[in-house]
């Protein structure tokens, strides 16, 4: 079944100062994958066909068709009418219809998260914990000194998950600001543990960011083997998590 048939009715209202985070598991039944492929633009179909491995191809098709369906509901447009453009560092954004609706998408293994806001730029990241191991070499290359100290202060058994929690927070922040991985990830620090509003410690390139940006850890009770984070420009009043399927 196509994702637009699974979207709840009535559709939730997205108020200013809110972010909606939609969670959907990639379905095991791929019988309608062709129908979802048909929802994509020609450029998106070409991109999907460039995948040589089936799982990432399926991830891309389902994530993009779901994004189109949700944007269509928020904007009162057909999914096929949505036109994207790419910002300087690769972040997708709306080209048509024009407006201030902001969005971001992340997928890992069998899970997709999509974030939407009426005004605040947003970034979201989700990571599967099943492949976690010793990431000390990666932390040494991509984490700030402060983050590395936080990680090393934890018991060894807690470090794999803490590494991924830190990574999702950093990547969500970079995506929200439109940098992607073009920016040196060691120039800002996040907390490995902490609640929303206490996560961004410092940004050496933009000290004012502590007052104008926030990072929100997302607690995924089901499935439990993922971690996720949302970053948004402040002030942000509410984060609502919604399950699509």
Domain ranges of the chain: 16-243
Class of 16-243 per CATH?
A: alpha beta
Mean pLDDT of 138-143: 92
pLDDT reading at 195 higher than 90: no
Question: Do 27 and 62 meet the contact criterion of CB atoms below 8 Å apart?
Answer: yes
- Lowest-pLDDT range of 36-45, 66-75, 90-99, 171-180: 90-99
Q: Is the pLDDT of residue 1 over 70?
A: no
pLDDT higher than 90, residue 91: no
CB 205 within 8 A of CB 187: yes
This prediction's pTM: 0.92
Residue 5 has pLDDT above 80, yes or no: no
pLDDT at 208: 94
CB-based contacts of 230: which residues, under 8 Å, 6+ apart? 19, 21, 115, 122, 123, 124, 172, 215, 216, 218, 239
Closest CA relative to residue 22, chosen from 94, 101, 112: 112
Task: Give the tens place of pLDDT for each residue, 156-169.
Answer: 989 999 999 999 99
Arithmetic mean of pLDDT, 23-29: 82
Q: Where does the pLDDT of residue 215 fall: very low under 50, low under 70, confident under 90, or very high at 90 and above?
A: very high
Average pLDDT, the chain: 89
Indicate whether 58 pLDDT > 60: yes
Q: What is the per-residue pLDDT for 26?
A: 83
């Amino acid at each position: 079944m196509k994702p637009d048939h699974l979207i709840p009715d009535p559709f939730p209202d997205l108020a200013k100062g809110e972010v909606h985070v939609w969670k959907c598991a990639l379905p095991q039944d791929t019988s309608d994958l062709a129908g979802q492929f048909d929802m994509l633009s020609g450029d998106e179909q070409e991109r999907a066909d460039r995948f040589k491995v089936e799982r990432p191809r399926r991830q891309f098709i389902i994530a993009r068709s779901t994004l189109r369906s949700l944007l269509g509901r928020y904007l009162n447009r057909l999914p096929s009418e949505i036109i994207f453009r790419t910002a300087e560092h690769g972040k997708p954004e709306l080209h048509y219809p024009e407006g201030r609706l902001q969005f971001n998408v992340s997928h890992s293994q069998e899970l997709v998260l999509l974030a939407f806001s009426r005004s605040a730029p947003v970034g979201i990241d989700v990571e599967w914990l099943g492949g976690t191991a010793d990431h000390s070499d990666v932390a040494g290359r991509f984490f700030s000194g402060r983050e590395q100290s936080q990680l090393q202060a934890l018991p060894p058994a807690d470090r794999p998950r803490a590494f991924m929690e830190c990574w999702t927070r950093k990547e969500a922040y970079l995506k929200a600001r439109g940098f992607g991985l073009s920016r040196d990830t060691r120039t800002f620090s996040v907390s490995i543990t902490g609640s929303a509003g206490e996560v961004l410690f410092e940004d050496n390139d933009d000290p004012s960011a502590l007052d104008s940006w926030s990072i929100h850890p997302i607690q995924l009770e089901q499935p439990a083997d993922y971690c996720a984070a949302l970053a948004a420009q402040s002030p942000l009043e509410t984060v609502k998590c919604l399950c699509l399927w």
